[in-house]
């Protein structure tokens, strides 16, 4: 039986999941600090005090004279389980950087930098092969794809807004493998490395409708759409054989291709969501997102991918946002849940990812600036059929700095 060992190597990696070996890696889609504590909802959320890049139509909720700067960091601890072993890893990384600002009273904008996908793993697999003996296989990966976006939203009517995010996706995904025969010093050791560099544009569209139900309650519904995009990519491939000789190590290059053009399919995606609010005290919402990965190709071949779907539910409660004598009453308390059929299908299992989220938003003095904390407790994968189960805890912190432009202060 193969012995699977996941090994941490603390460098600049921001994930340590063996599942990031497939496709474009671990996809980031949980939103900013507030959304992360609300189970990842955002398609039907409108809040002029926070940037919500999950639906670009939401930017119109921002005040005409306001400016928002949002920055966040995350840290996760993951317990990896197989049928025979357990291993724990910890990592920390920046999660986002974004700005929100007005252009006119009916046109608002946002710009930012967020991770799109992450790759980071080191897998050792030792097997005993007939007539050969022990064979060591090593698989490593690092890198990721980043998203730099600029979004524009337009209020078409008092109740209807539309928006578009223009994103530039860039980054590199490096995956390598090696085969070694530890008890035969004269056998060749084969090493291969594959590096894919991605640079291309992608578009996301959003619509929101918002209206009052009665004097106390309001309702917002939203939809988002992402077109299918073949992302331009260049691939470098390198394969060598190494063998120990009396003079040292002899290397023989088997393959060396550089700059080979190809593409990565980013398939059609869509989502729908809603939220119901009672004044500034209560927010309840839900989203559903889906993407058609089953026919997607990664550099000319399919990679164990399946159509994905995610359900997100969240609730926020604030006792009294106007009670400036009690910080506890002004703090927003958040709870959420998420369940996803991921885009990975391995050994006849479509992997699931589910968990609960909780957190809170602490206002700064009498301003609309807030400090947002979130915890995501979840599980992905299974130990069946030689797969890996991941039990994870993700801690997130973000600051949403809110200020006014062109506001003349008067002193007496």
pLDDT one-digit tens code per residue, 335-345? 999 999 999 99
Residue 243 or 14, more confident? 243
Per-residue confidence band for 14, with pLDDT thresholds at 50, 70 and 90? low
User: Is 24 a member of any domain?
Assistant: yes
- How much is the pLDDT for 343? 93
Kindly report, residue by residue over 123-175, the tens digit of the pLDDT: 888 777 777 778 888 899 999 999 999 999 999 989 999 999 999 999 999 99
Amino acid 11: pLDDT: 36
Phi, psi for 21 (deg, rounded to 5): -70, -20
Backbone angles phi, psi at 322, to 5 degrees: -105, 5
Establish if 409 belongs to a structural domain: no
Mean pLDDT computed over every residue of the chain: 88
Q: How far apart are CA 74 and CA 371, in angstroms?
A: 14
Task: Examine residue 411 and state whether it is found in any structural domain, yes or no.
Answer: no
412 lies in some domain: no
Inform me whether the pLDDT recorded for 60 exceeds 90: yes
pLDDT for residue 46: 93
User: In 184-307, at which residue ranges do the beta strands (DSSP E only) sit?
Assistant: 189-212, 217-226, 229-245, 248-266, 269-278, 282-291
Q: Cα–Cα distance between 210 and 230 in angstroms, integer? A: 34
For the residues 385-397, what does the mean pLDDT come to?
Answer: 92
Q: Is 258 helix (H, G, I), strand (E, B) or coil?
A: strand
Taking the CA atoms of residue 207, residue 373, residue 343 and residue 299 in that order, the dihedral angle to the nearest 10 degrees is 90
Those residues whose C-beta lies under 8 Å from the C-beta of residue 357, and which sit 6 or more positions away, are: 36, 37, 38, 39, 40, 314, 334, 335, 336, 337, 338, 374, 375, 376, 377
pLDDT of 2 above 80: no
Tokens of 254: 């088997």
Query: How many domains does one find in the chain?
Result: 1
Q: Which residues contact 245 (CB under 8 A, 6 or more apart)?
A: none
Could you read off the pLDDT of 193-220 as tens digits, one per residue?
A: 999 999 999 999 999 999 999 989 999 9
What's the sign of the alpha-carbon dihedral 181, 6, 386, 264?
negative
Between 251 and 398, the higher pLDDT residue: 398
pLDDT digits (tens, 9 = 90+) for 24-55: 999 987 788 899 999 999 999 998 899 999 99
Residue 13, pLDDT score = 52
Give the model's pLDDT for residue 6. Answer: 41
pLDDT of residue 234: 94
Q: Which of 4-18, 74-88, 369-383 has the lowest mean pLDDT?
A: 4-18
Q: Write out pLDDT tens, residues 222-239.
A: 999 999 999 999 999 988
Which residue shows structure tokens 């040292």?
Answer: 248
* CA nearest to 208, candidates 109, 316, 61: 61
At residue 322, the pLDDT reads 85
Mean pLDDT, range 271-290, rounded to an integer: 96
pLDDT at 167: 96
Q: Mean pLDDT across the stretch 323-327?
A: 86
Q: Report pLDDT digits (tens) over 66-117.
A: 899 999 999 999 999 988 888 898 888 888 999 999 999 999 999 999 999 9
Quote the pLDDT of residue 247. 64
Rounded to an integer, the average pLDDT of 57-69 is 92
Distances (CA, A) of 165 to 162, 203, 225, 256: 11, 6, 11, 38
Please give the Cα distance from 94 to 75 (Å, whole number). Answer: 9
Please, which pLDDT band fits residue 406 given cuts at 50, 70 and 90? low
Per the CB < 8 A criterion, the answer to whether 335 and 374 are in contact is: no
| 313 part of a folded domain | yes
Give Cα separations from 295 to 74, 117, 381 (angstroms): 32, 19, 22
Q: Of 309, 230, 276, 264, which is closest to residue 29 (Cα–Cα)? A: 309
* CA 394 to centroid of chain Cα atoms: 12
Domain assignment of residue 314, given as a range:
3-404
| Residue written as token pair 């793993």 | 121
- Look up the CATH number of the domain holding residue 108: 2.40.160.60
pLDDT in tens, 244-269: 666 656 677 778 888 889 999 999 99
In a domain, 410, yes or no: no
179 by Cβ neighbours in 10 Å (0-12 / 13-18 / 19+) ranks as middle
Contact of 381 with 19, CB cutoff 8 Å? yes
Per-residue pLDDT at 12: 43
| Domain contains 36 | yes
């Amino acid at each position: 039986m193969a012995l699977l060992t996941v090994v941490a190597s603390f460098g600049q990696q921001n994930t340590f999941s063996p599942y990031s070996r497939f496709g474009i890696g671990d996809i980031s889609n949980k939103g900013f600090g507030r959304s992360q504590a609300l189970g990842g909802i955002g398609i039907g959320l409108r809040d002029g005090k926070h940037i919500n890049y999950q639906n670009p139509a939401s930017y119109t909720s921002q005040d005409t004279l306001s400016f928002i700067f949002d920055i966040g960091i995350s840290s996760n601890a993951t317990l990896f389980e197989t049928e025979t072993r357990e291993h724990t890893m910890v990592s920390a990384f920046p999660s986002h950087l974004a700005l929100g600002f007005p252009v006119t009273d009916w046109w608002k904008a946002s710009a930012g930098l967020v991770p799109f996908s992450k790759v980071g793993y080191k897998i050792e697999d030792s097997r005993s092969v007939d007539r050969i003996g022990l064979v060591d296989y090593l698989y490593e990966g690092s890198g990721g794809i980043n998203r730099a976006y600029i979004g524009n939203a337009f209020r078409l009517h008092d109740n209807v807004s539309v928006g578009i995010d223009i994103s530039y996706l860039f980054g590199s995904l490096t995956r390598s493998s090696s085969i070694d025969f530890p008890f035969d010093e004269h056998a060749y050791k084969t090493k291969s490395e594959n590096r894919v560099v991605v640079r291309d544009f992608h578009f996301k569209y959003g619509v929101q409708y918002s209206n009052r139900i009665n004097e106390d309650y309001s309702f917002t519904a939203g939809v988002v759409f992402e077109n299918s995009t073949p992302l331009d990519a260049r691939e470098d491939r390198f394969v060598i054989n190494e063998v120990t000789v009396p003079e040292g190590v002899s290397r023989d290059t088997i393959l060396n291709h550089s700059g080979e053009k190809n593409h990565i399919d980013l398939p059609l995606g869509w989502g729908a969501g809603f939220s119901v609010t009672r004044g500034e005290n209560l927010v309840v919402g839900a989203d559903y997102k889906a993407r058609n990965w089953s026919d997607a190709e990664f550099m000319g071949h399919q990679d164990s991918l399946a159509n994905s779907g995610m359900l997100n539910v969240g609730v926020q409660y604030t006792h009294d946002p106007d009670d400036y004598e009690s910080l506890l009453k002004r703090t927003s308390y958040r709870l959420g849940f998420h369940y996803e059929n991921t885009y990975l299908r391995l050994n006849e299992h479509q992997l699931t990812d589910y968990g609960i989220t909780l957190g809170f938003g602490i206002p700064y003095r009498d301003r609309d600036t807030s400090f947002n904390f979130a915890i995501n407790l979840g599980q992905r994968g299974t130990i069946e059929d030689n797969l890996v189960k991941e039990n994870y805890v993700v801690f997130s912190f973000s600051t949403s700095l809110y200020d006014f432009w062109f506001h003349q202060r008067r002193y007496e």
